[in-house]
Chain A
Amino acid sequence: MTKRRTLAALAAIALALPLAACGGSGGSGGSNSGKLTFFSWDGEDTMKPVIAKFEQENPGIKVEFSNAPPVPEYISTLQSRILSGTAADVFAIAAENKTNLINGKHVVDLRDKPYLKNVPKFNQTTYSGPDGAVYGLSVASWGAGVLYNKDLLAKVGATTIPQTWDEFLALCHKLKDAGVTPYLESVQGMSTPLAAFLGAENQTTGDTMDKKIFDGSAKFKDYWVEPLTQWSRLWTEGLVTRSAVGLTGDQVRQEFVTGKAAMMIAGPWDIPGIRKAAPKLKIEMAPVPGIAGGKPYLAGAASPGYAINSKAKNPEAADKFLAFLATPEAMAIYQKATGAITVTSDFQPTIDPALSPIVKDVRAGNVYLPQIAWKRAEDILNVEATAQLQLLVQGKATPEQVANALDTKLASTS
């Protein structure tokens, strides 16, 4: 009998053990002065060579690496680690979590750090708080524009890249008449041409467009209606099928690499895949042509920055790590692994030639993305904007209705 009871107790303990293990899932922990914990949204393949070089130069410090893929998985994992007090010493601050990290005082102010000296103002401002403090070391930016298949363009006699939206639409007409799908973009998020139109407009207003919308002195409809109207000409003039509303970015890329579509929306991340799938394709990327009164512009933003946990177990090592990440040496390794357009002034990245027309603007910070420029309720507005843009493409909403819906949504969040 005793034997049976002991057996039952043992079985119970054995079954309960995995639970105990779950409860104790680690994060940084311990006060090992030589250990630095780092939680990244770049994968291990990308960061391993950078970390190896850092450890080689700092023999006393051992980096404990962990990562989660962007974006929702990364955000939620970091969130639960911060809540449970097990977040790493260094982690990535992104557009999607910067407000919560800064408002919750979970990240350290880096504004006086010498390693920020080589980082452009644009990247610093993206991760700065209202008091001017800088909370992230962002060493790269990205820009999205139109990627052209130059062979298909040559077929209809186009030898230059359009500079105005009217020229772009005229080119679309020519391609369509020649039996080629002129242009495709995925509308499962913020539209790149729309963001570019708004970015050009924002620049002409001296970067005050969103400030005015969010302080109540202007409305979305004051700035958005004309860009929305111009963008929707792609569908109202029958140049692109309204079915494009259901396309993913992968499906658009597939049409482009197989030579079925002449132009697509793309970012630097698309280029390696396209080169691999269609090595002979003659491609070139350029900013989105400007609408009346605006110049060609790029949608884009500063890449996520590296931040130091305000409760870091090893703040000195964290500081050293960030200083290393901004060095030309680290940039070279990182850039080689990612192909990213790095922005630190003392390192010149080697970029795919197809991206040449956009590199200068991206490095100078001449890029714009509404959901990053917005001052609050970024994701709430982005979800609403995406749904409204889809209705616009389907012909179920007018540009005025889309802008009004955003004004209504913003009002509901105040």
Chain B
Amino acid sequence: MPRRLGWGFWISAAWIALVLGAALAADLLPLPRYDETLVGPPQAGPSLAHPFGTDGLGRDVLSRVVYGARVSLGVGVGAVLLGLLVGAPLGVLAGYRGRATDSVIMAFNDIALAFPSLVFALAVVAFAGASLTNVLIVLGVLGVPAWTRLIRGATLSFAGREFVIAARALGARDRRILLREITPNVAVPAASYAFIGMAIAVVAEGSLAFLGLSVQAPTPTWGGLINEGRAVMDNAPFVVLAPSLVMFLTVLSFNVVGDRLRALTDVRQSGLEPGRRAPALAPAAGSRTTVVERAGDALLQVRDLRTHFVTGRGVVRAVDGVSFTLERGRTLAVVGESGSGKTVLIRSVLGLLPGAGVLRDGEVLLEGRDLTTLPPKELRGVLGTRLATVFQDPMTALNPVRTVGTQVMEPLRVHLGMKRRQARAAAAELLSSVGIPEPARVLRRYPHQLSGGMRQRVTIAMALSCGPDVLFADEPTTALDVTIQDQVLRLIHRQRQEHDMAMVLVSHDLAVVAQWADEVLVMYAGRVVERGPAEALFERTRMPYTEALLRAVPRLADPAHQPLRLLGGRPPDLANPPSGCAFSPRCPYARERCGTEAPPLAEAETPGHLYACWYPELVGREREIDREIDTEGVDTRGR
């Protein structure tokens, strides 16, 4: 089991075991019989001899509760088993066979679920007679639809998985697949629901007993005890409270056990508060930065930014000492593979990471003012008006249940204090400035009624609405159609020029970067590995990783069928990065030193061009080899 069950689980399990044990061994326990009257004075409070006191007839309440557990737990376990025995095969059948079988079973299921179950149980027990068997059968049958639904869902999600499809493709028999592959995977959700189901059945039996429609007196049941106890509530509240408490604890325990089991397969975490400032993060091993950024009057300056995630596997150094400077009117491209920390860098600069488990350190200076120390309210003022953001996927960037108009007008109204009418006019103007036809109509639309390209234009319009100084564009065209990509990039570029903004453009597309960026920052494993003016960085690459990225770009001059020069290996595990230079395991030039000592950022001949590599003079060989192969390839074919 990958996650811990927690102490609540064990206490609950222990309580269930205790109640179950007491119920089974009731005859052996040193208790008066449940129906023996006047074992003590009637309605006597709790005492050593009678821990739960005695009821109106002087019967021992503890004994009655213990014997009552026999019925309650018996019905709970029995009903669950019955529901499982009938519901599980139906669910597996529906989930595994699909099509008509599924439709028929689920149609019946939906109708069965349309009955208010307790009322129905009540009526059936009333007509069939109130006995243990009848209660058990009714509650068991009423549990069947829920079981069918659960097992079907679980089966469905596994029936399509690779390993089941593989087993099918290998010609395994259906029964064998069901038994060997699916059953073990359905077991955990089923076990979880079994406990929840017992809680439900115990409550349902209690309800029937409370109404006098379960097992008849003199056999005690919890619900019946509570009902009887009501009569003497004024003088002897413990008579009603004791079974109530035991019943509550038992139901709670079943629920806790079921819930913890379910939680094993379910991981989720979040928060809305901004990340807390880390109490001085220890600098990563070997993160000596030889070039220290000077504090200046630059528009945006990021200094030694670190963002670490505290996870179950250890501390993930997603951003580890990144620095850059951005002047007005310039475009800085942040490049790297997926998982190199580009997106986290942007969110970290803007303070958008969730609070729990995130440590952030370093400075983000906007015209000399450190955003990381601003109180949340002031930071929000800056975020809304001076820094703007566009994300990768326009499908998820807009709220699906609010109109485009509401969303575009919101920053105008909140930050610029516009009135509704004024904001609507401004919003329409914004939309038309990003090339949306019929803006007044689009304002009334919902996001799902627009195409991907249109939606991205809308998010760009929203970003531009308050006249920002810096636009952060996180892969703004990756999710779009190739034909739309160029249009959107041109639009962003034009807007950047018109409004004299600076832009941070995150991209993994080097062709885009070469076309639009003034400066480039290459990230690997959360660190800057090379940085500088675009031209210098592309022409005189000093870091093997940058070279590898450049080699991976297909060129028009490539001959047909030229295999793509893919970057071998995988990005490193940031919770457990390799020692020395993080890129060394994948680097064609790596030598001994690279595996032990991390290279600092050093300055190249071009001013502002920095790189982190011990052997920059080697870089470029691989590209030369490419060229030779290319030439030879062409030549060979020419002959």
A binds B: no
